[in-house]
Amino acid sequence: MSSTESKRDLIIVSNRLPLSIKRVDGGYQSSISSGGLVTALSGLTKSTQFRWFGWPGIEVKDSEEREQVSKSLGEHDATPIFLDQGLAHEHYNMFSNRILWPILHYQSGVIYEDGPWQAYRRVNELFADAVADAAESGSLIWVHDYHLMLLPQLLRDRLQMKNKSCAIGFFLHTPFPASDFWRALPVKNDLIEGLLSSDLIGFHTDEYKQNFIETCASNLGARTEIPNQIQYKNRLICAGRFIVGIDPQKFADTLQKEEVQDRIRTLEERYKGMKIIVGVDRLDYIKGLTQKLKGFDSFLENYPELRNKVILIQVAVPSREDVKEYQDLETELSTLAGKINGKHATPEGAPLLYMHRSVSFTELTALYSVADVCLLTSTRDGMNLVSFEYVACQDKKKGVLVLSEFAGSATFMRDGSIPFHPANTTEMSEALYAALNLDFEERQRKHRLLMEFVSTHTSAKWGQSFTEKLAQRCRQPKQPC
C-alpha cells in the first residue's frame, strides 16, 4: 500500500454526528459515542483519516456559540451542520420518520405532505453545501441512511461546479421495499435519482438490493441487465450487499468484568428455577412489540403448566418520543402489559417484566447472558443487531434465538434460530415452547452456527469491505462492478 493510500481521506456523513455535546462552564464540551458507526470504522484508523459531518443534535443560533461548538467538535475531526429547530423537526420527525420510514418498512396509510418534503430537500442541500466545500479531489464520501437520500445528487452537482472529483458511497440501514410498495410515495423518483449519483450503494441483504435495482428499472428505465450494476444517464452505479455486524469481543470482555459477573449471579439467584425470555427493542412499531406481547399472552394460555416457571423481561428503549404514533404505541404496550400481568399473575409473581427505559451496557450484557431464550418479533427490520448481541453473550448457556422471519438477520440466521411469522400468535407460542424445551446438544449446534456467523461478520469487517469497494470505484469508476 502506498503512503498516499495508507491515509486516504474518508468523509462520513450522517444525519446526527456520533458525538454528544453539552455546555460546560460557559463553553461546550463534546465526547465521542460508542455507537455502531464509530465501532465499525475503528479498525480503519491506520489506513484512513476520518472526517465526520452531521447535525450536532442541538440548536445553536449565536454565531460565537457556533464557533465554540465547531471548535469542540473539531477536536474529534467532526464538522457540525447547524439547523434551526423547526427545520430539523420537519426534516427528521415529519418527513424522515412519519413519511419515509413507514414506506421503507412496508407500513400503509402514510399521509404525504409537501411542507415536510421541502424541509427534507432543504436539509439535504445544507449538507451538500458543507461537504462540497470541505471535500478535496480524491476524497471518499460515505453517506448514511434514509435521512439523506437526496444528498448524493446534490453533492455531485456541487462538486462538479468546483471541479472536484470524489467517489460517493451510500449505505441504507433500513430495508428497501418492493417496487410496487415504493410507488405509493409521491416523491419516489426524486429519492432514487438522488441515490443514483452515488458510485456505490450498499444494502443489508440481497433482497433489499434487488428491490432497489428493480425499482430503478421500472420507475426510471435504468438498465440493469448485468447483476449488481445500474446504468443510468451515462453513469455506472454499483449496488452491493454488505453485512453489518457488531464487535463480539466487546461483549466477551464485558462479560469478564467482576461487576457483570456479580450481576449475573444476582439475576440467576432471583430467577432460580425459572426460564428467562429476554426481549430488547427500540420502542418502534416495526419491532412487533404489540405482536410480541399478544404472542406471549397466547403462550401463557396454551401452556398453563409453565405459569410461575417462565418470565419475559422486555426492555423497550424509548424512541422518537415527540412523534404521535410512538406515543400511542407506548400507551398501547403499557396497557397490554398490565392486562397480561392482571390475567396471569399469582401471589408468587408476575410473568412479564416490562421496562420502558434504557439500560446500561453492563446490565444489558448480564441480561443477555442469563436468558434462556431471546424473542425478537420484528414486522420489518433492516438487520436487528440484538440477535447478534444475544448470541455473543451465550457462550456458556447456549440460549436459543427465536427470530421473526422479517428481521434482516433472519436471512443469515435461519438455521441457527427458531424462525416464525410475527403475526401468527400460535406459531410464536409454539416456537417459544420449542425453544424452552430444546435439548442441550441441539442448542449447542445452533449456537455454534450463529457464533461462527457473528464472529466472521463483524462491524469492523463491514466498514472495511465498504470503504475498500468505494476506494476501488474511485480508482476505476468505469470498470464493471
What CA–CA distance (Å, rounded) separates 34 from 20? 10
Digits of tens for pLDDT over the chain (481 positions)? 444 445 789 999 999 999 988 888 878 889 887 666 776 776 676 678 889 999 999 999 999 999 999 999 999 999 999 999 999 999 999 999 999 999 999 998 899 999 999 999 999 999 999 999 999 999 999 999 999 999 999 999 999 999 999 999 999 999 999 999 999 999 999 999 999 999 999 999 999 999 999 999 999 999 999 999 999 999 999 999 999 999 999 999 999 999 999 999 999 999 999 999 999 999 999 999 999 999 999 999 999 999 899 999 999 999 988 888 899 999 999 999 999 999 999 999 999 999 999 999 999 999 999 999 999 999 999 999 999 999 999 999 999 999 999 999 999 999 999 999 999 999 999 999 999 999 999 999 999 999 999 999 999 899 999 999 999 998 888 888 8
- Per-residue pLDDT tens digits for 147-192: 999 999 999 999 999 999 999 999 999 999 999 999 999 999 999 9
Residue 443 C-alpha from the chain's centroid: 27
Same-domain status, 239 and 295: no
Same-domain status, 190 and 222: yes
Same-domain status, 303 and 350: yes
Residue 1 lies in a domain: no
Same-domain status, 286 and 331: yes
Same-domain status, 235 and 295: no
Residue 481 lies in a domain: no
What CA–CA distance (Å, rounded) separates 199 from 168? 5
CA-wise closest residue to 123 among 143, 147, 103, 144: 147
Dig out the grid coordinates for 195 from the structure: 441515490
CA-wise closest residue to 243 among 282, 281, 207, 202: 202
Dig out the grid coordinates for 303 from the structure: 401452556
pTM summary value? 0.95
Report the CATH number that the domain containing residue 190 is assigned in CATH.
Answer: 3.40.50.2000
Residue 95 lies in a domain: yes
Q: How far is the CA of 173 from the CAs of 101, 153, 184, 471, in angstroms? A: 11, 19, 21, 20
Residue 98 lies in a domain: yes
Angle at 13 between CA 77 and CA 196, to 5 degrees: 150
Same-domain status, 32 and 158: yes
Question: What is the tally of structural domains in the chain?
Answer: 2
What CA–CA distance (Å, rounded) separates 417 from 319? 27
- Per-residue pLDDT tens digits for 388-407: 999 999 999 999 999 999 99
Same-domain status, 263 and 332: yes
CA-wise closest residue to 450 among 406, 408, 390, 405: 390
Same-domain status, 286 and 422: yes
Same-domain status, 181 and 252: no
Residue 342 lies in a domain: yes
- Which own/partner contact pairs does 221-229 have at CB distance under 8 Å and 24+ positions apart? 222/196, 226/480, 226/481, 228/481, 229/480, 229/481
Handedness of CA 455, 458, 460, 465 (dihedral sign): positive
Same-domain status, 310 and 329: yes
Same-domain status, 210 and 259: no
Residue 480 lies in a domain: no
HEC sequence for 286-308? HHCHHHHHHHHHHHHHHCHHHCC
Residue 2 lies in a domain: no
Residue 113 lies in a domain: yes
Same-domain status, 88 and 231: yes
Dig out the grid coordinates for 411 from the structure: 436471512
Measure CA of the first residue to CA of the last residue in the chain; give whole Å.
22
| Structural domain of 285 | 248-456
The total of other beta-carbon atoms located within 10 Å of residue 339's CB is 13
Dig out the grid coordinates for 336 from the structure: 397490554
Residue type, 206: D
